């Protein structure tokens, strides 16, 4: 997308992260998550929930706890969102 001059936004990143999470590719999801932050986009609650879901389903509890801590540090509530990916 960037090669075509199109900058992905939070919705694009969240959709991609959700899709790769549902495919069981948690490493790719985490990579996209980090790429999102590097691009200057701020993950929203849906983005965090998608990444947390993937990590928990893969048994990566340490990674999930680290992500939950990052949510806290960024001021994102750990309270469930009514819209889950």
- What is the full per-residue pLDDT of the chain (85 aa) written as tens digits? 556 677 888 999 999 998 998 888 878 988 898 889 888 888 888 888 888 888 888 898 998 899 889 888 888 876 655 555 5
Query: Structural domain tally of the chain?
Result: 1
pLDDT of residue 71: 86
| Residue 9 within any structural domain of the chain | no
Residues sharing a CB contact under 8 Å with residue 57, sequence separation 6 or more, in sequence order? 21, 24, 26
Domain of 55, in residue numbers: 17-73
In a domain, 7, yes or no: no
85 lies in some domain: no
Asked if the structure places residue 42 within a domain, the reply is yes
Give residue 1's pLDDT: 56
Say if pTM beats, i.e. exceeds, 0.95.
no
What letter does residue 41 receive in the DSSP assignment? P
| Model pLDDT, residue 16 | 92
């Amino acid at each position: 997308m960037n090669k075509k001059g199109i900058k992905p936004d939070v919705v694009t990143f969240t959709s991609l992260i959700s899709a790769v999470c549902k495919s069981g590719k948690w490493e790719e999801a985490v990579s996209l998550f980090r790429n999102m932050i590097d691009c200057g986009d701020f993950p929203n609650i849906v983005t965090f929930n998608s990444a947390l879901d993937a990590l928990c389903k893969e048994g990566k509890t340490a990674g999930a706890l680290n992500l939950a801590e990052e949510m806290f540090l960024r001021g994102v509530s750990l309270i469930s969102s009514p819209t889950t990916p």
